Amino acid sequence: MTTIDDTAAPSTAKPGARPGGKPKGPRFLVVQGTLPYRGLQLGAVLLVALLLLWASGLPAFRMGQITNVFIIAIAIAGLNLVTGYTGLLSIGHSAFFGLGAYTTGILIVKYEFAPLSTIPVAIGLCFVLGLLVGLPSLRIHGLYLALVTLAVAVSFPEIVRRAEELTGGAAGMVVRSRFLAPPEWTGLVRAERGIWMFWFSAAVLAVVMLLCRNLVRSRFGIAMRATRDNEIAAAANGISVARTKIVAFGISGAITGLAGSLFTMYMGALSPDGSFTLLKSIEFITGLVLGGVATQIGPLVGAFAVVFLPYLTASYTEGPLAGVVFGIVLIVIVFLMPEGIVGRVGILARKVVHIVPADHPRLGRADREGPPEPARAEQ
């Protein structure tokens, strides 16, 4: 009955025209797990490595900006899980970012933790906060849920201001740079913190993107997307909508909290009105939409956009007009590419290359009836 034909799997990539000669289909088929597929993957990794090496030679200011991009990208990757893949709009992710940041700051300053050892604590606390914020999603939906997350976002800076003893209140908190020196095993000195944070953020981002990719493709990922698209049908197919939403919120919060933790190490100074207000949440959402909702690389591209676009528009115009130009650029991008930059590129790429899963039943057949149709919703 089962029609997987293993004999065909190894190394049979099939470049060339589609059988049947339909003009519209993709021109290249690449089978997952085959040599050409691995080649493409390796090529992508090499390209990224080269880009990173190039960026690490940039002036300190630029490198710092790119570190910031990586950190924002991690935060947006977290948001993407709950808003992009599970369909729960969160305006509260600045609070996860802030909780992660303050957890790391407080542990270093008050309890003399090494920076790296604060990360698990920050992740854990943000995971729990995520579960809690996810709880109302069982009863309330859509914009009403967004209002709850809005309340979380608005109350976070207020709580930080009140908890003065721990957080330094409105005056903020400074983490002295001697606490933030690169770990000894790196061989870097204290003045080279910028280099350390650049590579460290890049590595964490890579791990986060890999984990998100695993998750989204897993059966839990299917449950997340099913819950997003139709809750009644998801339940009828055996998916616990409640568990899916809450766990997705927890993981999402944990990842954005991790970004906050890195942010403290990067900045060395925290204040409630600086980076943890509603504006930060809006920045994350903007980045997610620009990069591509429910895409795997969208968060990174979106982070580049939200960090660099304001600079770009400011360099061509002056004064308050820059904000207006930035707004216009946003509108134009969203108008031209409602699926986001990565979403759009993905649609174009699939016209040229078509990735086929290795267990596709028509792969090994002599009577190959032609490959599956193109077009994928996401990934």
**For binding to another protein (CB under 8 A), which residues are involved?**
1-4, 211, 214-215, 218-223, 225-226, 228-230, 232-241, 247-248, 251, 294, 354, 357, 359-362, 369-370, 372-378
Angle between helices 60-79 and 298-316 (to 10 degrees): 130
What's the closest the beta carbon of residue 88 comes to another protein, in angstroms? Answer: 14
- Closer by beta carbon to another protein, 148 or else 226: 226
Between residues 171 and 377, which has the closer beta carbon with respect to another protein? 377
CA dihedral 323, 328, 329, 330 (to 10 degrees): 90
Rounded Cα gap, residues 22 and 354, in angstroms: 14
Q: Is residue 180 within 8 Å of 191, Cβ to Cβ?
A: no
Amino acid at 21: G
Is the Cβ of residue 162 or residue 243 nearer to another protein in the bound state? 243
For residue 287, count other CB atoms closer than 10 A to its CB: 28
Please say which residue, 178 or 219, places its beta carbon nearer to another protein. Answer: 219
Give the number of other CB atoms < 10 A from CB of residue 195.
17
Q: Which is nearer to another protein, 327 or 372 (CB)?
A: 372
Identity of the residue, 250 or 287, whose beta carbon is nearer to another protein in the bound complex? 250
199 to each of 68, 71, 254, 303, how far by Cα in Å? 12, 11, 21, 17
What is the end-to-end Cα distance of the chain in Å, rounded?
29
Taking the complex as a whole, how short is the minimal distance between the CB of residue 278 and another protein, in angstroms? 28
Q: How are beta strands 173-174 and 28-31 bridged, if at all? A: unpaired
Amino acid type, 3: T
At 20, the amino acid letter reads G
**Residue 116 in contact with residue 275, Cβ under 8 Å?**
no
- Which among 167, 164, 136 has a CA at the least distance from the CA of 149? 136
C-beta of 225: minimal distance to another protein in Å? 5
CB of 325 to another protein, least distance (A): 33
The least CB distance from residue 233 to another protein, in Å, is 4
Q: Collapse the DSSP code of 27 into the 3-class scheme (helix H, G, I; strand E, B; otherwise coil) and give the result.
A: coil
By beta-carbon proximity to another protein, the closer residue of 318 and 369 is 369
